[in-house]
Amino acid sequence: MNSGYTASLEKLVKNYFIWDCWVHKEVRANQIPVYHIYHLQAPRFQQDGSPYHPEARHNMASVGHITATDLFDQSTWESQGTCFAPDTGNEDSPYNLAIWTGSMMPIEHPHLQKSLGASYVMAITGRTTKDEGLVQRLFFLISEDAYNWKILFNSKEQICQLDLSLINHPAYDWAREFWDNKEHQVLHCRDPKIMSHPNQEGAYLILFTSYRAEAETREFTNGCVGVATSTDLINWEVQPPLRTPKILGKMELPQLVKSRDDWYLLVSCENNIENKEYLESLNVPYDSGGYAFRLQSAVDKQPGYLDLEGAWEYAGYWGGAGNQDGTPNLYAPTVADVITKEDNTTEVILIAWYGYTDDSEDREFQGTYKVYTVQLAQE
């Protein structure tokens, strides 16, 4: 055991709130995997030493970086520090308030590597003080080594963005939310999952979470997973959202898992208490956590084809909150690895973050990670 690694992680948790994460597995020449765990973080303490309220973290989040060689042995987890922070000194920046969840992938095509001058791209969520953080936008970072990141600009030296407020796509709308005793209009476009397009050579796909423009038949059911495609990682075309069941509100962290010829969509949902009776009637948990949906592709599609216009059905609950015994609640399961077994099963390794220890008024915010697996049997 390398005790220095453990101390590194313990020091991080002691000084920072840490929550949502996204993972990239890098297999090096010696075949030993290195997992890059990027995560949201915010300081626990103010400059005078007094503690911040845990909810204050959302308006001062930056991106931290942890590396690990064994996800189940946190003695191998090493904090690499902050890899990207809000541009607080620039009032025109799309991310001067806070940075929220994203994802990353290697750039596999040599011509794109050359034109972008990078080997990796990260899609990230930004919020700005100009609109009080009510509009969430996607922007992009690039890196040569997965440790040092910089903003991706287009040929006009403008920050590359995906901004639904400028696109006005008819399938997406503003959400009505209530806090501080008043109503707010919020444009959700966050938690992007960026990946090579499974069906189109040389194309790329982003899933993001948003709010449907359709009439809401039940309150807190219009959350959706949006879609955008690109061929150059700079210009993105927004598509209609995935056809997931209308049962959840604020969807978060969309992720795709391929098990043999089946596709699974994993999403989290911030809170479903408004839908408790409705979800219970469907045998669906109403706690925050990981909801899995299985793609029901059209009959004319080949097995394994990611049908972006296909319907998704609820397929299970892959972990999350709901503990009532005083143990920390789990939130936002993130796919860290997918392993195909010899017995025709798929093992999905997930990382979820510890939230509060209980539901009392003076509950303690934990802010560390739990790793666990979900087994998918091949039908």
State the pLDDT at residue 359: 61
Range of the domain at 30: 1-85
* Domain co-membership, 119 together with 184: yes
pLDDT (tens digit per residue) in 63-119? 999 999 999 999 999 999 999 999 998 988 989 999 999 999 999 999 999 999 999
For residue 209, what are its two tokens?
């979470």
Q: Helices (DSSP H) in the chain: which residue ranges?
A: 3-15, 110-116, 164-167, 276-281
Distances (CA, A) of 143 to 26, 194, 229: 14, 15, 21
* Domain co-membership, 115 together with 228: yes
Residue 114: helix, strand or coil by DSSP?
helix
Residue 253 is assigned to a structural domain of this protein: no
- Please check the confidence at residue 356 and state whether its pLDDT lies above 50: yes
Asked if 14 and 6 touch (Cβ cutoff 8 Å), the reply is no
Residue 246 is assigned to a structural domain of this protein: no
Instruction: Give percent of the chain above pLDDT 90.
Output: 73
For residue 41, what are its two tokens?
């973080």
pLDDT (tens digit per residue) in 10-36? 899 999 999 999 999 999 877 889 999
* Domain co-membership, 110 together with 43: no
Residue 253: helix, strand or coil by DSSP?
strand
State the pLDDT at residue 17: 96
- Please check the confidence at residue 4 and state whether its pLDDT lies above 50: no
Q: Which of the listed residues 241, 276, 304 is the one where a domain comes to its end?
A: 241
* Domain co-membership, 299 together with 164: no
Q: Which residue has the higher pLDDT, 144 or 176?
A: 144
* Domain co-membership, 149 together with 202: yes
